[in-house]
Chains A and B, each alone.
Chain A
Amino acid sequence: MRLSRSLIIGAVLSAAVLAMALLSFAWTPYSHTAMNIPDKLQTPSAAHWLGTDHFGRDILSMVMVGARTSIAVALVAVGIGIALGVPLGLAAAARRGTWLDEVIMRGNDLIFAFPSLVIAILITAIFGPGAVNAIIAIGIFNIPVFARVTRGGALSLWEREFVMAARVAGKSTPRISFEHILPNVTNLLIVQGTIQFSLGILAEAALSYVGLGAQPPTPSWGRMLADAQTMVALAPHIALVPGLAIVLTVLGLNLMGDGLRDLLDPRIRVQR
Chain B
Amino acid sequence: MSLLEITDLSLDIGTYPILKGITLSVAEGEIVAVTGESGSGKSMTALAVMGLLPGGAATRGHVRLEGREILETSEAQMCRIRGRDVGMVFQEPMTALNPVKTIGDQVAETILVHEKCAKAEARARAREVLDRVGLPAERFPLTRYPHELSGGQRQRVVIAMAIALRPKLLIADEPTTALDVTTQAQILDLLKELVADYGMGMLIITHDLAVVSGLAHRIVVMRHGEVVEEGETRALFADMKHPYTRMLFEASDHCVDLPPRPDGTAPLLQVEGVSRDYPLPRTKLFEPRRHFRAVRDVSFTLDRGDRVGLVGESGCGKSTLTRAILGLEPVQEGRILLGGEPVLDGGRPNLAVRRRIQVVFQDPYGSFNPRHRVDRLVTEPYHLLPDPPKGAAREAAIDEALEAVGLQAADKRRYIHEFSGGQRQRIAIARALIIRPEIIVFDEAVSALDVSVRAQILDLMARLAAEYDLGYLFISHDLSVVRRITDRVLVMQAGEIVEEGETEQVFLAPRHAYTRSLIDAAPRLPKVGAA
> Is B431 touching A165 in the complex (CB atoms < 8 A)?
yes
> Is B371 touching A168 in the complex (CB atoms < 8 A)?
no
Q: Which of A166, A167, A171, A184 has the most CB of B within 10 A?
A: A167
B-contact bits for A167-182, CB 8 A (1 contact / 0 none): 1111100000000100
* Cβ-closest chain A residue relative to B428: A165
In the assembled complex, the CB of B309 is this many whole angstroms from the nearest CB of chain A, namely 20
* Cβ-closest chain B residue relative to A175: B383
> Is B366 touching A162 in the complex (CB atoms < 8 A)?
yes
Q: State in angstroms the CA–CA spacing of A162 and B370 once bound together.
A: 9
| B420 beta carbon closer than 8 Å to chain A | no
Q: State in angstroms the CA–CA spacing of A168 and B357 once bound together.
A: 9
* Cβ-closest chain A residue relative to B359: A168
Question: Could you say which interface size class chain B belongs to?
Answer: 20 to 34
In the assembled complex, the CB of A101 is this many whole angstroms from the nearest CB of chain B, namely 14
In the assembled complex, the CB of A78 is this many whole angstroms from the nearest CB of chain B, namely 24
Could you tell me which residues of chain B, from 366 to 409, have a CB within 8 Å of some CB in chain A?
Answer: 366-371, 380-384
Partner among A160, A161, A170, A180 whose Cβ is within 8 Å of the Cβ of B383 = A170
Partner among B349, B366, B380, B381 whose Cβ is within 8 Å of the Cβ of A160 = B366
> Is B366 touching A168 in the complex (CB atoms < 8 A)?
no
Q: A169-B384, A170-B354 are in contact. Are A161 and B367 (CB under 8 A)?
A: yes
In the assembled complex, the CB of B362 is this many whole angstroms from the nearest CB of chain A, namely 7
In the assembled complex, the CB of A90 is this many whole angstroms from the nearest CB of chain B, namely 16
Q: State in angstroms the CA–CA spacing of A76 and B498 once bound together.
A: 61
Which B residues are in CB contact (< 8 Å) with A184?
369-371
Could you tell me which residues of chain A, from 107 to 166, have a CB within 8 Å of some CB in chain B?
Answer: 160-162, 164-166
> Is A167 touching B328 in the complex (CB atoms < 8 A)?
yes
* Cβ-closest chain B residue relative to A172: B349
| B351 beta carbon closer than 8 Å to chain A | yes
| B358 beta carbon closer than 8 Å to chain A | yes
Which A residues are in CB contact (< 8 Å) with B328?
164, 167-168
Q: State in angstroms the CA–CA spacing of A165 and B428 once bound together.
A: 9
Which B residues are in CB contact (< 8 Å) with A164?
328, 359, 361
In the assembled complex, the CB of B417 is this many whole angstroms from the nearest CB of chain A, namely 13
> Is B383 touching A162 in the complex (CB atoms < 8 A)?
no
> Is B354 touching A161 in the complex (CB atoms < 8 A)?
no
> Is B362 touching A169 in the complex (CB atoms < 8 A)?
no
A: number of interface residues (CB 8 Å): 14
Q: Which of B351, B367, B382 has the most CB of A within 10 A?
A: B367
In the assembled complex, the CB of A105 is this many whole angstroms from the nearest CB of chain B, namely 16
* Cβ-closest chain A residue relative to B367: A161
In the assembled complex, the CB of A121 is this many whole angstroms from the nearest CB of chain B, namely 37
Q: State in angstroms the CA–CA spacing of A184 and B366 once bound together.
A: 13
Q: State in angstroms the CA–CA spacing of A32 and B354 once bound together.
A: 67
| A183 beta carbon closer than 8 Å to chain B | yes
Which B residues are in CB contact (< 8 Å) with A183?
369, 371
Which A residues are in CB contact (< 8 Å) with B431?
165
Q: State in angstroms the CA–CA spacing of A136 and B384 once bound together.
A: 44
In the assembled complex, the CB of B290 is this many whole angstroms from the nearest CB of chain A, namely 16
Which B residues are in CB contact (< 8 Å) with A168?
326, 328, 354, 357-359, 381
> Is B366 touching A169 in the complex (CB atoms < 8 A)?
no
Which A residues are in CB contact (< 8 Å) with B351?
170
> Is B380 touching A166 in the complex (CB atoms < 8 A)?
yes
Q: State in angstroms the CA–CA spacing of A162 and B380 once bound together.
A: 10
Q: A165-B359, A168-B354, A170-B384 are in contact. Are A180 and B367 (CB under 8 A)?
A: no
Partner among A165, A167, A169, A170 whose Cβ is within 8 Å of the Cβ of B367 = A165
| B128 beta carbon closer than 8 Å to chain A | no
Q: A162-B367, A180-B369, A184-B371 are in contact. Are A169 and B361 (CB under 8 A)?
A: no
Which A residues are in CB contact (< 8 Å) with B368?
162, 165
In the assembled complex, the CB of A174 is this many whole angstroms from the nearest CB of chain B, namely 14
Which B residues are in CB contact (< 8 Å) with A160?
366
| B363 beta carbon closer than 8 Å to chain A | yes
Could you tell me which residues of chain A, from 183 to 232, have a CB within 8 Å of some CB in chain B?
Answer: 183-184
Q: State in angstroms the CA–CA spacing of A183 and B369 once bound together.
A: 9
Q: State in angstroms the CA–CA spacing of A166 and B428 once bound together.
A: 12
> Is A171 touching B367 in the complex (CB atoms < 8 A)?
no
> Is B363 touching A169 in the complex (CB atoms < 8 A)?
no
A-contact bits for B334-362, CB 8 A (1 contact / 0 none): 00000000000000010100110111011
Q: State in angstroms the CA–CA spacing of A253 and B52 once bound together.
A: 39
Which B residues are in CB contact (< 8 Å) with A162?
366-369
* Cβ-closest chain A residue relative to B416: A162
Q: A161-B362, A164-B328 are in contact. Are A169 and B369 (CB under 8 A)?
A: no
Q: Which of A160, A162, A165, A168 has the most CB of B within 10 A?
A: A168
Q: State in angstroms the CA–CA spacing of A184 and B354 once bound together.
A: 26
Which A residues are in CB contact (< 8 Å) with B354?
168-170
In the assembled complex, the CB of A170 is this many whole angstroms from the nearest CB of chain B, namely 5
Q: Which of B328, B349, B358, B369 has the most CB of A within 10 A?
A: B369
Q: State in angstroms the CA–CA spacing of A160 and B381 once bound together.
A: 17
Which A residues are in CB contact (< 8 Å) with B383?
169-171
Which A residues are in CB contact (< 8 Å) with B380?
165-166, 169, 171
In the assembled complex, the CB of B117 is this many whole angstroms from the nearest CB of chain A, namely 42
Q: State in angstroms the CA–CA spacing of A162 and B359 once bound together.
A: 11
Could you tell me which residues of chain A, from 227 to 244, have a CB within 8 Å of some CB in chain B?
Answer: none
Which B residues are in CB contact (< 8 Å) with A169?
354, 380-384
> Is A161 touching B363 in the complex (CB atoms < 8 A)?
yes
Q: State in angstroms the CA–CA spacing of A166 and B351 once bound together.
A: 13
In the assembled complex, the CB of B327 is this many whole angstroms from the nearest CB of chain A, namely 8
Which A residues are in CB contact (< 8 Å) with B381?
168-170
Which A residues are in CB contact (< 8 Å) with B326?
167-168
Could you tell me which residues of chain B, from 410 to 430, have a CB within 8 Å of some CB in chain A?
Answer: 428
Q: Which of B351, B380, B431 has the most CB of A within 10 A?
A: B380
> Is B361 touching A161 in the complex (CB atoms < 8 A)?
yes
Partner among B358, B366, B384 whose Cβ is within 8 Å of the Cβ of A161 = B366
In the assembled complex, the CB of B416 is this many whole angstroms from the nearest CB of chain A, namely 9
* Cβ-closest chain A residue relative to B279: A97
Q: State in angstroms the CA–CA spacing of A165 and B358 once bound together.
A: 9
A-contact bits for B427-450, CB 8 A (1 contact / 0 none): 010010000000000000000000
Q: State in angstroms the CA–CA spacing of A180 and B370 once bound together.
A: 10
Q: A160-B366, A170-B349 are in contact. Are A165 and B384 (CB under 8 A)?
A: no
Q: State in angstroms the CA–CA spacing of A170 and B381 once bound together.
A: 8
Partner among A165, A170, A171, A180 whose Cβ is within 8 Å of the Cβ of B361 = A165
In the assembled complex, the CB of B451 is this many whole angstroms from the nearest CB of chain A, namely 22
Give the A-binding residues of B (Cβ under 8 A).
326, 328, 349, 351, 354-355, 357-359, 361-363, 366-371, 380-384, 428, 431
Can you list 29 pairs linking A and B with CB atoms under 8 Å apart? A160-B366, A161-B362, A161-B363, A161-B366, A162-B367, A162-B369, A164-B328, A164-B359, A164-B361, A165-B361, A165-B367, A165-B368, A165-B380, A166-B380, A167-B328, A168-B326, A168-B328, A168-B357, A168-B358, A168-B359, A169-B381, A169-B384, A170-B349, A170-B355, A170-B384, A183-B369, A183-B371, A184-B369, A184-B370
With contacts A169-B381, A169-B383, A170-B384 known, what are 5 further pairs, Cβ within 8 A?
A: A160-B366, A161-B362, A165-B361, A168-B328, A168-B354
Give the B-binding residues of A (Cβ under 8 A).
160-162, 164-171, 180, 183-184
Q: What 4 A-B pairs come out closest when comparing CB atoms?
A: A161-B361, A161-B367, A169-B381, A161-B366
